[in-house]
Amino acid sequence: MAPKKKKKDDNAPKVDLEKVMKNIENLGLESVELTQQLQDRLKDHADSLSIYDVTYNLSSLCFFNEVLYMGCEREIVGISTISRLQEFRVQMPPPLLANRINCIFVWGGILYAGIGDKTIRAWNATTAEPCGEFVGNEDKVNWFQQYNGDLMSASNDGYVRRWALPSQNCVHPYFVCEYPIITFEIFGDLMYCAAEDLSVRCVDLRSGHNKGLYKGHAEHVRAIAMMGRSRMRDLDPEASEDLDTRGILGMMYTGSSDQQILGWEVKTADAETFEQCPAMKVAGNSDTVARLLVLDVQEFVADLTGEHEIQPEGAIDPAKGGGKPRHHIPDTELAVLRDQEMPKRILISGSADSSVRLFDCRTGTCMLVLVGHTEGVTDLVVHRNVLYSASSDRTVRSWNLKEALVRIQMRRRLKTLEVQKQEQQDILEANSKKKKKGKKKK
C-alpha cells in the first residue's frame, strides 16, 4: 500500500520573502559600513603608541608614580610616561655575570632587584638612593611578590623566601622543590610556583605544606596569571552556582615553552586533590609564552570613564556636574566597549615569537595580535589605558588598549552580521524552492 501523502500545513507561519530580502540588504549595508569604519581606524590609529629604547636586553617592567621602570642586563631606567624624561637610573658595575639584573619589583616606594650574585638590592624609587641589601639566597632571584606586608622572592635554589621589612631579614624560607622556581603568584593564602620540572606547585603559606601539583605542560612553565571566582561568575553564569559547592576559588592560566597556555581550576586548600588536570587549552603562540596578564574589561572601562571616582549618591555635589564621569570617549566607542557581546575577561600573552596576543578567557579564541617587536617579548604591564611590552629587541612598546578592544568588538560584530546574513539567505533560498515547486506546469 502506497504511503499517504502528507497534508499541507495551512497553519505553518508564512515567510515574508520581501522582509527577508530587506533584512539581507540591511545586514549587507551594515557590514560594508562597519568594514569601512574598521579600515579607517587602522589608518588613523597606530598599533604602537610609542617606543622606549634601552641599551640592553630587557628583563622586566614595573610602574610607580607614573614612572615606567625597565630592568635591563646592567641597569635600571625609569622613564616618566608624562614628560618622557628619565627620572631614575641605576647602573651595575662589572663583572656582568655577578651583577646582572634578573628581575625588578616596585612596592611601597622602594625598588627591589634580583641580582646575579644571589642578593636582592633595594633603592628609593624616586631618588635612586640605596636602601639596603637582602642576603640569604643560595642562587639567583627570578621573581618578586608581596604578602601581608612582607616581600616574597623566588630563587633558583627551589625556595620562596619571605623577608620582613624594614629589617630585611628572612623570616620564613618556603621550600617548594629541588628545582629552580621561575615565577609564582599569590592567591589569598595560597602560593602557586612554577618550577623547572614542568609543573606548578600549590603551597599553603600558613602551614608551608604543598597542597597541589599541576602537571600538563610538555616543557617549562614560564608565566602564571590568576583570575578570581567573582570574575568566573561573569564568564559562565550557568555554572556559577556550582563554584561554591566544588570549592573553586578562581582560574589559573599558565604559559610554557611548549607554546601552549593551559587553564586550571583553583580550589580551596581543603578541596584540593593533590594532582590537577587542566580545564582548558589556549593555542595560538608559535614560541615560548613568557608572560601572561588577565584584563577585566568591565573594570578597565570603568577606570577609563572615571566611574570608580564617583562619590556615593547621597554625597554628589550638583555644582560638580552631578557626579557624571569625566572622560573624552565618544559615545559610539563607549557603546562598543559596553556591548553585551564584548568578552568580560581577556587573557594577554607575550611570547618569544615577538607577538602580543589577546584571547577570550571563556573560549580561548585569539581575537587580536599586536605586532611590532622584532624579538621575543619578555614582560607585560598595564597602566591606565596603555599596555606596555618589553622585548629582547631592546625596546618597550606601548599599545592603546581601548583601541584594541574597540577593534576586537568591531570584528566580532562583523562576524555576527555575516552569520545573520547567511541565516536570512538560507531562509530565502529554502522558501524560494518551495514556491517554485508549488507552481504547476502550463
Cell 577585566 -> residue: 296
Question: Do 180-283 and 286-308+328-426 show the same overall fold?
Answer: yes
pLDDT value at position 183?
97
Please tell me the class of the 52-175 domain: mainly beta
Specify the pTM.
Answer: 0.84
**The CATH number of domain 180-283, selected from 2.40.50.140, 2.40.10.480, 1.10.3720.10, 3.50.50.60:** 2.40.10.480
Give the architecture (CATH level 2) of 286-308+328-426.
Beta Barrel (2.40)
Q: What is the pLDDT of residues 336-392, one digit of tens each?
A: 888 888 889 999 999 999 999 999 998 999 999 998 899 999 999 999 889 999 999
Secondary structure (DSSP) of 254-304:
EEETTS-EEEEEEE-TTT--SEE--SEEE---SS-EEEEEEEEHHHHHHHH
Strands 120-124 and 366-371: unpaired
For residue 258 the three cell numbers come to 611548549
Domain residues of the chain, as ranges?
52-175, 180-283, 286-308+328-426
pLDDT value at position 231?
65
Dihedral of CA atoms 34, 38, 40, 43 in degrees, nearest 10, equals -170
Dihedral of CA atoms 391, 96, 92, 169 in degrees, nearest 10, equals 100
pLDDT value at position 29?
87
350: nearest Cα among 386, 392, 378, 388: 378
Residue segments in the chain with a per-residue pLDDT below the cut of 50: 271, 315-316, 318-319, 321, 442
Q: What is the pLDDT of residues 25-65, one digit of tens each?
A: 888 888 888 788 777 776 666 666 777 877 778 889 999 99
